[in-house]
Structures are given as structure tokens and as C-alpha cells.
Amino acid sequence: MRWEGNRESSNVEDMRSGGGGGFGLGGGTISIGAIVIALIGGAVLGVNPLTLLGLMTGGGGAPVQQQGPAPAPPANDQQAKFVATVLADTEDVWTDLFKQGGATYHDPKLVLFRGAVRTGCCGGQAAMGPFYCPADQKVYIDLSFYDTLKNQLGAPGDFAQAYVIAHEVGHHVQDELGITGKVDRARQNATPAQANALSVRVELQADCFAGVWANHAQKSRNILEQGDIEEAMNAAQRIGDDALQKAAGRAVVPESFTHGTSAQRQRWFSTGLQQGTVKSCDTFNTRNL
Ligand SMILES: [Zn+2]
């Protein structure tokens, strides 16, 4: 992928040292600030401080109380530079596409963390892999996931890494389009199997949106090198639910899928890449995923 020298986003927050901004949750400890606020709040409101602390450190979907902006990553950090450049590219593409549709795109933040992190959506753990939190509109990524992707999942390559970011940004696009809210409401009355099926459609659409980004980034900035598409397609294959279940030595159980099969993930990324339109990513109104 040709990315060096391209614009870097200023929306990257570096929480890898666990402090700086919000409540870094390094190794299962809460920052002293959270505890103090909980104790004072408890005294004033007459509730058990531990209950309040529980509310503040996870669940509830309440927005995170920031204690100040988290720092930007150091300028000489090549991996952070890569992430910031890919994020900037998604900002440019989605800003244009929203504008063309008569709407305004609001950039998400991207938080670099290590191990565990406080988010607006319960705690985030590196073991979950990168994720997007609609409550605070932030993408969270522990960069060690890229080692996992390469070494454990067999998906090396910078464009595989870019695909991961573009997929998470895809979830932000869904949020901006009001899709996330609709799906959450539908999920409330769903059986577990139905909820999983909905989740698969959400995830495949994020894959398709990653492809839409790649389509426009290529047209505008000629980012693709030989082998890049193969890297993304390989990554999509390796992180399909069936592939992951097989790799874990488990039986393949389609009802338990939450992200779609390898073939589906490849197909939807490829659809977005070829079509380059949001419309082509309507995974909710198709029989054939
Ligand atoms: Zn996802």
C-alpha cells in the first residue's frame, strides 16, 4: 500500500500508556480520579459508592467522562503513523461520499490502547480485537492485534491492516447513517439466533464499506500496490466465523456466526471495492448474503 507522505489524521488518541485522557484501565485498575468522583457522588446522592463506581466503569452506555484530551501518538511511531494515515484517508472518502448524498460526515476518533481500555460501551479488551463504540463514536485498536493477525491468523500485510481500520470505520458510517440505532432496536425483540443473524448483516456491511473506501482511495490517491487486494481478501478469509471456529478446533455452528463466513466476508468486501457505492452494500435487503 502506498501511504507514506499522505495526510495523517489528528483524530488519533494515544492511550497506550494508560493515562493522559480518559480512564485508562491498565491491568484492571481504575484511575484514582474515577474512584474519587464515585465517592463524592455517592455521598451527595446517598447511594452506595460501589454501585456508582460500577456504573462508571462499565455498562450503561453512558458517555465516558474525559479528563482532558488524550495525547497524539509520538511523531516517530511508524505504526501509529500508518493508522493515522489510513484513518485520514477514510475521513476524506466518507466526507466526500456523504457530501454527495447531501449529508455531513462527522469524523470518528481512533484510540490506540494496550491491553484494556475504558470506553463509552463497557470495557474494551485487546482480546476482543479492534472494535467501534457507538456511544462515544470511537474506534479502539490495540496494535498488538496486527501481530495476531499476521502470526496467529495468517493474514500479514499493510493492506490487511488497513482493511481492519476501514471495517471499524465502516461501523461508524453505519452509526452516522442511523443503521446502528435501527439494528439495536430490532435486536431487543430478537431471539439469540435472530440477533446473531442481524449481527452478521451488520458486519458484512462494514466489510462492504471497507471495500467502498478502498475503491475511492484508489481512484483519488492510487494507494494500491500489487498484492494489496489479495492481502485484504486473505484477511477476510482468515477472520470468517467458519475459519475461526475450525482454527480453534471447534465444530462449525452457523447459528453462532456473528460476522459471516469467509466466503461472505470476501464477497462483501469485494462488492464494495468494485461498486464503490453505499447502495451496493445493502446487506439487510438481500436473501443472498
Ligand atoms: Zn465489525
Question: Based on the number of CB atoms within 10 Å of its own CB, is 100 exposed (0-12), middle (13-18) or buried (19 or more)?
Answer: exposed
Q: Give, in order, the Cα–Cα distances in Å from 103 to each of 92, 106, 176, 177, 244.
A: 14, 10, 10, 9, 37
Ligand 1 centroid distance, CA of 131 (Å): 7
Centre of ligand 1 to C-alpha 227, Å, is 23
What are φ and ψ of residue 187, in 5° steps?
-70, -25
Please give the grid coordinates belonging to residue 255: 447459528
Rounded to whole angstroms, the Cα distance separating 37 from 60 reads: 17
The x, y and z cell numbers of residue 191, run together, are 431471539
Which of 156, 55, 58, 71 has the alpha carbon at shortest distance from 109? 71
- Tens digits of per-residue pLDDT, 126-136? 778 899 999 99
Q: 265: CA distance to ligand 1 center in Å?
A: 11
Q: 207 C-alpha vs ligand 1 centroid, how far in Å?
A: 8
Amino acid, single-letter form, for residue 167: H
- 168 CB neighbour count, 10 Å cutoff: 25
Contact by Cβ (8 Å): 225, 2? yes
DSSP secondary structure code for residue 283 in this structure? G
- Do the beta carbons of residue 90 and residue 213 sit within 8 Å? yes
Q: How far is the CA of 206 from the centre of ligand 1 (A)?
A: 6
Domain residue spans in the chain?
24-63, 78-108+124-134+143-285
Per-residue pLDDT at 60: 40
Instruction: Please list the ranges in the chain whose pLDDT falls under 50.
Output: 20-64
Distance 47 CA to ligand 1 centre (A): 37
Predicted local confidence at residue 141, as pLDDT: 96
User: What count of residues does the chain have?
Assistant: 289
- Single-letter residue type at 265: R
Helices (H) and strands (E) in the chain, counts: 10, 6
pTM of the model: 0.83
Query: Residue 3 to residues 91, 142, 216: CA-CA distances in angstroms?
Result: 14, 21, 14
Distance 168 CA to ligand 1 centre (A): 6
Q: How far is the CA of 132 from the centre of ligand 1 (A)?
A: 8
DSSP classification of residue 278 = S
Beta bridge partners of 140: 111, 131
> Is the Cβ–Cβ distance between 160 and 234 less than 8 Å?
yes
Could you tell me the distance, in angstroms and rounded to a whole number, from the CA of residue 52 to the centre of ligand 1?
A: 30
CA–centroid distance, 77 to ligand 1, in Å, is: 26
pLDDT of residue 41: 39
**How far apart, in whole angstroms, are the C-alpha atoms of residue 121 and residue 39?**
22
| pLDDT tens figures, 49-101 | 444 444 444 444 444 455 577 899 999 999 999 999 999 999 999 999 999 99
**Residues 6 or more apart whose Cβ sits within 8 Å of residue 181:** 175
- Position 126 scores a pLDDT of 77
Question: Could you write out the three-class secondary structure of 168-184?
Answer: HHHHHHHHHCCHHHHHH
Quote the Cα angle for 195-200-202, to 5°. 95
